[in-house]
Amino acid sequence: MRARLAALPARERRRSDEALFARLLALPQLSGGGVAALYRGMGWEPDTAQLIPVLLERGCAVALPRSLPGNRLEMRRITFDTVFSRHPLGMLEPGTDCPLVAPGELSLALIPGLAFDPFGGRLGRGGGYYDRWLAGFRGFKAALCRACALVDKLPLEEHDRCVDLVICEQGLSGPAAGAY
């Protein structure tokens, strides 16, 4: 899957991002006033950094993950002026000077993944960061999934956490898809 995603031409990734972002931004949870947890895409992932100013301009608060020891995450609220630092694994993170956001404050959490299935199954990158964080999160979970990363069924283990909505270029799937 990594090789398949990495092989996508830049132009195709940009077109995919546009379609994915249009579907995501149409969700009522992002209409303004809520708090959205995002991630900053790296490499072949959707370029979610583009969503940050759009959501802030809409009046949504935005939180981004910060890595903690033990492969855990916390969410920190950012602004237009937030300065990010680079984590040793390569992702840009907000600092501890950014306010901590409790999971119960979030109207939506956008969850990254290597692949997804139509049932909300998620294959992460293997560190377990999001599975640990999601174990304590009861809110709405959405994922952006390029068409080539949507598979029929993922083999899931007991610790794996699913998302409520899988957003692909061609449509929505997952347990909550019927509501949209």
Q: How far apart are CA 70 and CA 11, in angstroms?
A: 37
At residue 126, does pLDDT exceed 80?
no
pLDDT tens across 13-36, in order?
999 999 999 999 999 999 878 999
At residue 171, does pLDDT exceed 90?
yes
Q: How far apart are CA 163 and CA 140, in angstroms?
A: 8
Which DSSP state fits 150? B
pLDDT band for position 136 (cuts 50, 70, 90): confident
pLDDT tens across 56-113, in order?
999 999 999 999 999 999 999 999 999 999 988 778 999 999 999 999 999 999 999 9
Q: Average pLDDT over the chain, rounded to whole?
A: 93
Smallest Cα–Cα separation from 7: which of 169, 121, 125, 146?
Answer: 146
Domain regions of the chain by residue span: 2-179
Decide: pTM greater than 0.95. Answer: no
Helices 10-25 and 51-58, axial angle in degrees (round to 10): 20
CATH number belonging to domain 2-179: 3.40.50.10420
Residue type, 38: L
CB atoms within 10 A of CB 56: 15
What SS3 class is residue 165? strand
In DSSP terms, 4 is beta-bridged to none
Least confident stretch, 11-20, 57-66, 130-139, 141-150: 130-139
Q: How far apart are CA 65 and CA 47, in angstroms?
A: 15
